[in-house]
Amino acid sequence: MSAGVKTEAEKRKQISVRAIADVEDVNSMKKSFNRHLHYTLVKDRNIATPRDYFFALAHTVKDNLVSRWIRTQQHYYDKDPKRVYYLSLEYYMGRTLTNTMINLGIQGACDEALYQMGLDIENLEAIEEDAGLGNGGLGRLAACFLDSMATLGLAAYGYGIRYEYGIFAQRIVNGEQTEEPDDWLRFGNPWEKARPEYTIPVNFYGKVVETPEGKKWIDTQVVLALPYDSPVPGYKNNVVNTLRLWSAKSPVDFNLKFFNNGDYIQAVIDRNVAENISRVLYPNDNFFEGKELRLKQEYFMCAATLQDIVRRYKVSKFGIRDAVRTSMDSFPDKVAIQLNDTHPSLAIPELMRILLDQEHLPWDNAWDITTRTCAYTNHTVLPEALERWPCSMLACILPRHLEIIYHINHLHLEEVLRKWPGDLDRMGRMSLIEEHGEKKVNMAHLSIVGSHAVNGVAWLHSEILKSDLFKDFYEMWPEKFQNKTNGITPRRWLLLCNPSLADLITDKLGDEWPSHLDQLAKLKPLAKDKMFQNEVMKIKQENKMRLAAQLENDYGVEINPSSIFDIQVKEKFQLYTVEKAGVGTWRSTEENDNFCIIDSILLQVKRIHEYKRQLLNVLHIITLYNRIKKNPKGNFVPRTVMIGGKAAPGYYTAKKIIKLVNLVGRVVNNDPVIGDRLKVIYLENYRVTMAEQIIPAADLSEQISTAGTEASGTGNMKFMLNGALTIGTMDGANVEMAEEMGEDNIFIFGMRVEEVEALKVKGYDAMEYYNSNEELKLCIDQIKDGYFSDGNAGEFSDIADILLKWDRFYLLADYEDYIKCQDRVNEAFMNKRKWAEMAINNIASSGKFSSDRTIAEYAREIWGVEPSWEKLPSPHEKV
Ligand SMILES: *Cc1c(COP(=O)(O)O)cnc(C)c1O
């Protein structure tokens, strides 16, 4: 989707921004732009393409940041504060240009400079590729955290992998998902700076030998890690932190064997295999796929990062000129390492290996340093998502690390038995090594044992960790367990994506709220103010009109802009496996068992389902359709339902659900009896940039996961901040959203966690619900009988089967309450004043969900550093 036509409000805003842009700034911006067009892009205005203009602008903006970047790093070197290292396999950054201009406060000057040169800045912004180095919430959280860590003045660094291909582009062809590689670096990345001089070797394979100085890992194969740095500007505070992403590079002597055998050409060609490590992001969200290449990616990132951290620790001057630290004792006082899920958990045995084998510390000393340095964030309780690496794979690729893990486990289990003598069951449950079947390392257990803090990402999720998934560990170390409810950066998710609403809020509250989001609470008294309601709803309507025009253009479906814009977007359709366990009997597993025999029919069922329950939404759509068909003259509140998200490639049933949504849409959208009362849009290729475009236009946000399955959610917070109302279950952060705004301002339905647990114990029989609700029965029969697939009964019969026989997520148990709740939504929507009041109450209650609040809590309660809202001095740079 490209930027649409400018609304009156936006034009007015532009004029006001231009008015305040400093003439000198504008002139220097124009000069810099022309210089880059000439010297960097080697073009003139006659032959420059829009992309050239984008790059010239990006370089101009980057120039405004480099002095701040250098000075910030110099400041850290001089002051030597405790450093915070955020380790993540994913950074879902989206675009950088607009965010950078906003955080530097140069948007007005850039806008005016381009206007004076006859260029439209919005058209150029739309040319930037998304940096899609993430799957969904976990990767986007890392991106929001970087923004907040810089805004809070923390000496923080993001570390990850510079994937050559990010998350695939989704195309819908004949209703089905297809994948295209995301070649995001094709035209170059104007923000990154390669630092080949800091290249670091990473070892794989080899063997461990005993030497007089201790253990040695020898005969390894080396892959080089080449760092690329990107700037992370704080919001108007002159701080610029660093995101350092590693790219794999073959060493010169790679495959020397071939070389010596005279096969020079083959040796050069084979250098590529080492570089495959940073080739592509694994497109799994909340799902563990035990692939060797993924293990190598995880270790590659951890090993390169830890060498960098130790190097920086050693050269820090800690107040003494030209001094070099030789003792590792103060490491935990100077370094905090945060593990974004278990993906970077090999940092724990890697740090141990450095301390033991290279620094020659005694085990207990090394272990004390490691555990005081590391902290672990858990992101899911779904069993199929938990990482369990086979010991055989570790023994081959990381033999020394496996030894260290075994010894950690040995000492850990001794401690367990000291605390609970003779409790062998407990010992088995708490082991880092799972012995049933193939021996595997449970990476979550390793992360808990090797960290001083373990946190969940919303209150409910953290409670479930303590009472269920990590109960034994909680009983052993209650003080380790914490909660850090997720948040989102208000810069991208309001200032950038909804400028009209941001301006309105600034009119009322002044301009400090973007870094002090609690101030939004001051809007609460205005919730019943008719003038303010009108202003808020006028902005919403303009956002809806713009999206409607875009959707009509993209999908050829006519949109009723006064309908409820009802949106469910999730980056991934969650999948689970149903395993063959004999005819008619099924159980779930994380194993890779694709084919199952049921009633002698060969049926392919890979990881099917989604805990996010898009199918429940589809059941609601079909119910509305049937109601209108049954009563064509009836009064219905019009709706436009939008669903978006990518299925993991190769997972059959998730893709089938996408197809069902598309085919239901085809039937609904083309039925003249339905008209403009119901439309269904499948949002193709949902990603950060699309989220920025649709969320400000949403009336209703669907957050309908089975209670106890969504750890937090952050999409829910983005909608709330932009004045959409939520229909949701008491799951993840929805619980805290309801608490902040009061249950009058949110549509809560469905089973609570305790009720889900009780249903599990009692036994869930979907047929009971099917047989006792006629509307539900009709929907499922239509799916089964091919109503939406031109009578092809086979097309979606497996989806009906899942709902009725193997559904782990109890869709039908929540159906009736969901439909009733949607009816209440319709009623509320008809009362425009009431709806506006609720929307304002949502906005005004969203202060808690700023990632600034989340990061301030991590800083004080886990990392032992204090946030600072003070600005660094401005460099007064003119380029
Ligand atoms: C915020 C965000 C997510 C996470 O959304 P949830 O609804 O919490 O799963 C996923 N993808 C994108 C592009 C996002 O911006």
Q: Is residue 262 part of a domain?
A: yes
687 CA from centroid of ligand 1 (Å): 8
Residue located via tokens 């709706």: 639
Claim to verify: residue 531 and residue 395 sit in the same structural domain: no
Domain that holds residue 559: 490-575+610-849
Cα-to-centroid distance, 713 and ligand 1 (Å): 7
Q: How far apart are CA 264 and CA 640, in angstroms?
A: 61
Residues 178 and 289 in one domain: yes
- What pLDDT is recorded for position 377? 99
Domain containing residue 671: CATH number = 3.40.50.2000
Q: What is the mean pLDDT of each run of 10 residues along the chain (879 residues)?
A: 52 54 93 98 98 98 98 96 98 98 97 97 98 96 99 98 97 96 98 98 98 95 98 98 98 71 81 94 93 98 98 80 78 98 99 98 98 98 96 98 98 98 98 97 99 98 98 98 99 98 98 98 98 98 97 96 92 40 30 26 29 93 98 97 92 90 98 97 95 96 96 97 98 98 98 98 98 98 97 95 94 98 97 98 98 99 97 74
Q: How many angstroms does the Cα of residue 778 sit away from the middle of ligand 1?
A: 32
Token pair of 23, please? 């003439």
- Give the closest residue (by CA) to ligand 1 atom 7: 715
The pair of structure tokens assigned to 344 is 């970077």
List the structure tokens of 20.
Answer: 């305040």
Tell me the CA–centroid distance for residue 124 and ligand 1, in Å.
25
Q: What pLDDT, on a 0 to 100 scale, did the predictor assign at position 585?
A: 30
DSSP 8-state class, residue 252: T
Pair 516, 652 in one domain: yes
* Ligand 1 centroid from CA 570, angstroms: 6
| Closest atom of ligand 1 to CA, residue 688 | 13
**687 CA closest ligand 1 atom index:** 13
Phi and psi, residue 326, nearest 5°? -110, -30
**How far, in Å, CA of 72 to CA of 732, rounded?**
36
Looking at the domain assignment, is residue 876 inside a domain?
no
Q: How far is the CA of 493 from the centre of ligand 1 (A)?
A: 11
Residue 43 burial (C-beta neighbours within 10 Å; 0-12, 13-18, 19+) = middle
Task: Say if residues 148 and 99 touch (Cβ distance below 8 Å).
Answer: no
What's the gap between Cα 485 and its chain centre?
A: 14
- Give 137 Cα–ligand 1 centroid separation in angstroms: 5
Residue 820 annotated among the catalytic residues of the structure: no
- Counting the structural domains of the chain, the total is 4
Choice among 62, 718, 808, 848 that is catalytic: 718
User: Does residue 726 contact residue 695 with C-beta atoms inside 8 Å?
Assistant: no
Cα(569) to centroid(ligand 1), Å: 7
* Ligand 1 mean position, distance from CA 709 (Å): 15
Q: State which ligand 1 atom lies nearest to the alpha carbon of 732.
A: 8
Q: What is the rounded CA–CA span in Å between residue 364 and residue 407?
A: 12
Are residues 658 and 784 both part of a single domain? yes
Q: Whose CA is nearest to atom 14 of ligand 1?
A: 688
Rg (alpha carbons) of the chain, rounded to whole number: 28
Determine contact, residues 20/108, Cβ cutoff 8 Å: yes
Judge residue 203's burial from the number of C-beta atoms within 10 Å of its C-beta, 0-12 exposed, 13-18 middle, 19 or more buried.
middle
Instruction: Give, using CA atoms, the residue closest to atom 4 of ligand 1.
Output: 137
- Ligand 1, atom 5, residue with closest C-alpha: 715
- Tell me which of 570, 655, 659, 687 is the catalytic residue: 570
| Residue 685 CB partners (closer than 8 Å, separation 6+) | 169, 170, 171, 646
Residue 854 falls inside a structural domain: no
Do residues 122 and 23 share a domain? yes
Residue with CA closest to ligand 1 atom 8: 713
Query: Closest Cα to atom 10, ligand 1: which residue?
Result: 136
Q: What share of the chain is helix, strand, coil (3-state, %, to 5)?
A: 50, 20, 30
Cα 691 to ligand 1 centre (Å): 8
Residue 791 lies in a domain: yes
Task: Pick from 1, 90, 92, 703 the residue to mutate for probing ligand 1's pocket: most ligand atoms within 8 Å of its CB.
Answer: 92
Within a domain: 107? yes
Cα–Cα–Cα angle for 152, 134, 281, nearest 5°? 135
Residue 875 within any structural domain of the chain: no
- Which atom in ligand 1 lies closest to the alpha carbon of residue 94? 13
Residue 841: inside a domain, yes or no? yes
**Ligand 1 binding pocket mutation candidate from 91, 617, 688 (most atoms within 8 A of CB):** 688
Residue 878 maps to a domain: no
Instruction: Look up residue 356 and give its two tokens.
Output: 């033991």
Distance, in Å, from the CA atom of 618 to the CA atom of 799, rounded to the nearest integer, reads 12
- From atom 1 of ligand 1, which residue's Cα is the shortest distance away? 715
Residues 330 and 228 in one domain: yes
Q: Are residues 730 and 843 in the same domain?
A: yes
Tell me whether residue 607 is one of the annotated catalytic residues: yes
Which among 570, 721, 851 is the best mutation to test ligand 1's pocket, defined by most ligand atoms within 8 Å of the CB? 570
Q: What is the rounded distance in angstroms from the CA atom of residue 180 to the CA atom of residue 324?
A: 49
pLDDT of residue 611: 83
What secondary structure letter does DSSP report for 7? P
Please report the pLDDT score of residue 451 as a whole number: 99
| Cα distance from N-terminal residue to C-terminal residue, the chain | 33
**Ligand 1 atom with least separation from CA of 713:** 8
Catalytic residue status for 380: no
Helix (H) or strand (E) holding 84: strand 83-87
CA distance 414 to 422: 11
Task: Name the residue of 138, 714, 722 to mutate for ligand 1: max ligand atoms within 8 A of Cβ.
Answer: 714
Atom number of ligand 1 nearest to Cα 488: 1
Nearest atom in ligand 1 to 692's CA:
15
Tokens 């008294």 belong to 525
Phi, psi for residue 748 in degrees, rounded to 5: -100, 135
CA 717 to centroid of ligand 1, rounded, Å: 10
- Strand ordering across the sheet containing 564-573: 678-683, 639-647, 564-573, 700-703, 725-728, 747-748
Per annotation, catalytic residue among 334, 484, 546, 607: 607
- Residue 245: both structure tokens together: 């992403």
CA of 571 to the centre of ligand 1 (A): 6
Active site residue 540: no
Relative to the CA of 569, which ligand 1 atom is closest? Answer: 7
102/230 same-domain check: no
Q: Quick one: 436 and 405 in the same domain?
A: yes
Cα 721 to Cα 715: distance, rounded to the nearest angstrom: 10
Q: Are residues 811 and 769 in the same domain?
A: yes
731, 681 Cβ separation under 8 angstroms? no
Task: Give yes or no for a contact between 251 and 224, defined as CB atoms under 8 angstroms apart.
Answer: yes
Ligand 1 lining (C-beta closer than 6 Å): 136-137, 140, 570-571, 687-688, 691, 713-715, 718
Residue among 162, 491, 612, 808 flagged as catalytic? 612
Atom of ligand 1 nearest to the CA of 712: 8
- φ/ψ (deg, to 5) at 456: -90, 175
At 597 the pLDDT is 22
Tell whether 672 and 821 lie within a shared domain: yes
Task: Point out the catalytic residue in the list 95, 162, 379, 580.
Answer: 379
Burial class (CB in 10 A: 0-12, 13-18, 19+), 66: middle
Cβ–Cβ under 8 Å, residues 388 and 366: no
Cβ atoms of 5 and 86 within 8 Å: the answer is no
Dihedral (C-alpha) 170, 171, 175, 178: value to the nearest 10 degrees? -70
The residue whose CA has the least distance to atom 15 of ligand 1 is 688
Same-domain pairing of 334 and 197: yes
- Which atom of ligand 1 is nearest the CA belonging to 691? 15
Q: Whose CA is nearest to atom 3 of ligand 1?
A: 137
Distance 136 CA to ligand 1 centre (A): 5
